[in-house]
Amino acid sequence: MRSLITVTLTALSLCACADNAATLAPQSNDTVTATTLTDGLHHPWSLAFLPGNEWLITERRGTLRRLVEGSLQEDPVSGVPEVVAKGQGGLFDVMPHPDFADNQRLYLSYAKPCGGDGGTTAVGYGTYQDGALKDFRDVYVAEKACTNTAKHFGGRILFDNDGYLFVTVGDRGERERAQNTADPAGSVLRLHDDGRIPDDNPLAGESGKAAAIWSWGHRNPQGLALHPDTGKPWLNEHGPRGGDEINAVAAGINYGWPEITYGREYYGPGIGDTKQEGLAQPLLHWTPSIAPSGMAFVTSDRYPDWQGDTVHGALKLTHLNKVAFDGRKPLSEVRLLEDRGDRIRDVRQGPDGYLYLLTDSSNGALLRLETAL
- pLDDT tens-digit profile of 278-303? 999 999 999 999 999 999 999 999 99
Per-residue pLDDT at 116? 86
Measured CA to CA in angstroms, residue 17 lies from 247, 292, 308, 330, 345 at distances of 10, 17, 19, 9, 25
How confident is residue 371, by pLDDT bands cut at 50, 70 and 90? confident
Per-residue pLDDT at 19? 56
pLDDT, tens digit, 9 for 90 and up, residues 133-184:
999 999 999 999 999 999 999 999 999 999 999 999 999 999 999 999 999 9
- The amino acid that residue 175 corresponds to is R
Per-residue pLDDT at 76? 98
The rounded mean pLDDT for the chain is 91
- The amino acid that residue 37 corresponds to is L
Measured CA to CA in angstroms, residue 309 lies from 13, 300, 330 at distances of 16, 11, 10
pLDDT, tens digit, 9 for 90 and up, residues 325-350:
999 999 999 999 988 999 999 999 99
Q: What's the average model confidence in pLDDT over 228-238?
A: 98
15 pLDDT higher than 80: no
2 pLDDT higher than 50: no
CA contacts within 13 A on the Cβ side of 260: 16
Q: CB burial class (10 A; 0-12, 13-18, 19+) of residue 140?
A: buried
**Greater model confidence, 338 or 220:** 220
239 pLDDT higher than 50: yes
| Selected catalytic residue, list 42, 43, 97, 152 | 152
Q: How far apart are CA 22 and CA 331, in angstroms?
A: 10
Percentage of the residues of the chain whose pLDDT score is greater than 70: 91
pLDDT, tens digit, 9 for 90 and up, residues 115-128:
889 999 999 999 99
**3-state DSSP of 344-357:** EEEEEECCCCCEEE
Measured CA to CA in angstroms, residue 57 lies from 24, 38, 93, 185, 288 at distances of 36, 11, 9, 26, 30
27 pLDDT higher than 90: no
- The amino acid that residue 350 corresponds to is G
23 pLDDT higher than 50: no
Q: CB burial class (10 A; 0-12, 13-18, 19+) of residue 362?
A: exposed
The answer to whether residue 152 is catalytic is: yes
Per-residue pLDDT at 201? 98
DSSP string, 22-42: EEPPPPPPEEEEEEEEEEEES
Per-residue pLDDT at 220? 98
Q: How far apart are CA 368 and CA 348, in angstroms?
A: 10
Q: Among the residues of 140-195, which ranges form H helices? A: none
Q: What is the pTM of this model?
A: 0.93
Per-residue pLDDT at 238? 98
Q: How far apart are CA 38 and CA 365, in angstroms?
A: 6
* Domains of the chain with bracketed CATH: 3-372 (2.120.10.30)
Q: What angle (nearest 5°) sits at the alpha carbon of residue 94, between those of residues 246 and 67?
A: 120
Per-residue pLDDT at 262? 94
- Contacts with 91 (C-beta within 8 Å, 6 or more apart), sequence order: 45, 58, 59, 60, 61, 62, 63, 64, 80, 83, 85, 108, 110, 111
Strand order in the sheet with 157-159: 157-159, 165-169, 187-191, 213-216
Percentage of the residues of the chain whose pLDDT score is greater than 90: 88
Residue 105 CB neighbour total at 10 angstroms: 17
Q: Among the residues of 146-232, which ranges form H helices? A: none
